[in-house]
Copies of this chain bind each other. A is one copy, B any other.
């Protein structure tokens, strides 16, 4: 047993008490009158980093402050950038919480409270790892930079602006984020791929106002029907997207990935039952897990036009619209895809209607190659912390900070999720397993130690 392992075991009760103090602060970024609590949470971190002897900076922004903490080992040592966020989701609906969201409570080996898994608990695990190494080894074998924001849950732009303007300050060799989860209980995972996204709104206009469907029907275009015609030409019956060039740059799955995904304890029948869908549907030739993690999509998120109230209203609507998002896989660029979308839809739209396409922007996909720096150390650290080799997984959603870190700082990010898929992030009774908290601390400490060793050997 390593020295830091014993320290972590011995100090676990205090580590839990400190996390409880952190969770007591209702740092809900979505509520403007909770601003003082967000500032208090930031100050809580600054005080803790100061106690540990790191160099700290509270960076004021137009919104909630950023917290920076820096540990300098040496100029030669590699540098880890650890990202986290101290803000939390709103606590509503309150009546569904078994214990109050900001009065953290321990039940059945879990700590319940808003922010316990997302992201205070997972972030604090890294801080306690630093403490454990410093207290047992006296120093860290590599440089560590913490970058912690207070506006993750409201998609604030202040962090992105800060990163854009502080490339030198944030220079590092690898980034780490613990804001996701294990694949399943006792199944640690490294999420090495995220999909990108681009969003668009299309609108079809015909007459200046709604028309009587009796007096005018048959003579004039119907924007609802035309919108359906356009949307139905975006994908074929097998779920393949028909926009020319759409797949040109889309990186296909490698054989090892398909094997890895197929080996996971994931079952389409269970998935169907859980969602209550009559059946699954999507691009032919790929399993459902492959499709939702690693294949691009085109989905209507909303459609609207004409009358939607009770009964009937015999009109030809003046206009109709739809919101569409496309999920992108590595090597697809949001701007390019939006351009292809526009070109195709403008081509297929008939001349008898007026078409408007509003591009709502997007974010790029992420792929951390298996050969990326420190990937092996991460695998070893998770195995050390959780007692089991991690799975390599992807995630179908987007984590904008990961793209920003890659695009602005040129860094790969290792997504080391310590939580569980059923930790109720964004929901009532959010929780974090005390065991996972401890395993997270062990993993983080081991990773930092391993990186230091690796470099010393080089």
Contacts and interface: CB of A to CB of B under 8 A. Distances in A.
Interface of A: 195, 197, 199, 201, 206-208, 211-222, 224-225, 227-229, 231-235, 237, 239, 271, 275-283, 288-289, 291-292, 295-308, 311-317, 320-323, 325, 327, 350-354, 360, 395-398
Among A201, A208, A276, A296, find the residue whose CB has the most chain B CB atoms closer than 10 A. Answer: A276
B312 A360 contact: yes
A304 to B, nearest CB: 4
Given A197-B314, A279-B352, A327-B214, A222 B299 contact: yes
Contact of A228 (B211, B228, B281, B354): B228
Nearest to A314: B325
A364 B386 CA distance: 72
B306 A313 contact: no
A51 B267 CA distance: 85
Given A302-B306, A303-B308, A306-B323, 18 more contacts: A197-B314, A214-B396, A217-B325, A218-B239, A219-B291, A220-B281, A222-B300, A224-B231, A225-B231, A225-B235, A232-B233, A237-B350, A278-B352, A281-B352, A301-B315, A302-B315, A308-B321, A312-B323
Nearest to A208: B276
Report the copy number of this chain in the oligomer.
2
B225 A299 contact: yes
A289 B299 CA distance: 38
B232 A301 contact: no
Contacts of A219: 271, 280, 282, 288-289, 291-292
Nearest to A239: B218
A75 B281 CA distance: 72
Contact of A218 (B208, B291, B313): B291
B218 A354 contact: no
A280 B221 contact: yes
18 contacts: A197-B314, A207-B277, A212-B397, A213-B297, A214-B397, A215-B396, A216-B275, A216-B396, A220-B275, A220-B282, A220-B292, A224-B302, A228-B300, A232-B232, A278-B351, A280-B352, A301-B313, A302-B317
